[in-house]
Amino acid sequence: MCQDETRLGLKTIAGRLITAKGVKPVGLSQWQRENFYLYGVVEPLSGYSFFYEFPYLNSDCFQNFLELLSADLGDDIAVIQFDQGSFHKAKALDYPDNIIPIFQPPHSPQLNPIERFWEFLKSQLQWENCQTLTQLQQKLTDVLKAITPSMISSLTSYDFILEALFSAAL
């Protein structure tokens, strides 16, 4: 499994707009700075996913996320790839017994398949101008509900990572 976090907020996510030839595209932007963080885990082969929103990106929220994920996993044991965020290695952090962390090299987000999922997720929210975080959270919930395990698998199944994991017998 692969874990990461992303920030979502009221600042407009810009992207490409399709228009007729010769017509300049116009996108309305807003610059509000309120935000929240979406913590997530994906499993590239099965498409399993688990997401939870938190107001902050810190070790307390991460510990809560681990406990919620552990409960969702039940008796299953998961080897999970983490980046080297300071809160992932905080001394006060207590990894549940059914979560085994492995850490990717520093400054290498391209090795984490969930990064491609975040790109897709944010593309679904491009040019959305929500007035409140509650509106944005509702749109996010709608987008996440529409994403199927096969979509997650398609987005996150990097051949070179899967081959490395299979050869390492993880």
Q: Give the up-direction half-sphere exposure of residue 42: CA atoms within 13 A in the CB hemisphere.
A: 26
In tens digits, what is the pLDDT along the chain, a chain of 170 residues? 999 999 998 887 777 778 888 888 787 777 888 899 999 999 998 999 999 999 999 999 999 999 999 999 999 999 999 988 888 888 889 999 999 999 888 888 888 889 999 999 999 998 888 899 999 999 999 999 999 999 999 999 877 766 776 676 55
Q: What pLDDT sits at residue 74?
A: 94
Distance between CA atoms of residues 8 and 125, nearest Å: 10
CATH domain 2-13+29-167 topology: Nucleotidyltransferase; domain 5 (3.30.420)
Residue 13 makes CB contacts below 8 A (sequence gap 6+) with: 122, 125, 126, 127, 128
| pLDDT recorded at residue 158 | 76
Parse the chain into domains and list their residue ranges: 2-13+29-167
Alpha-helical regions (H) of 21-148: 59-73, 114-123, 133-146
Predicted confidence at residue 120, as pLDDT, reads 94
Report how far residue 2's alpha carbon sits from residue 129's, in angstroms, rounded to the nearest whole number.
30
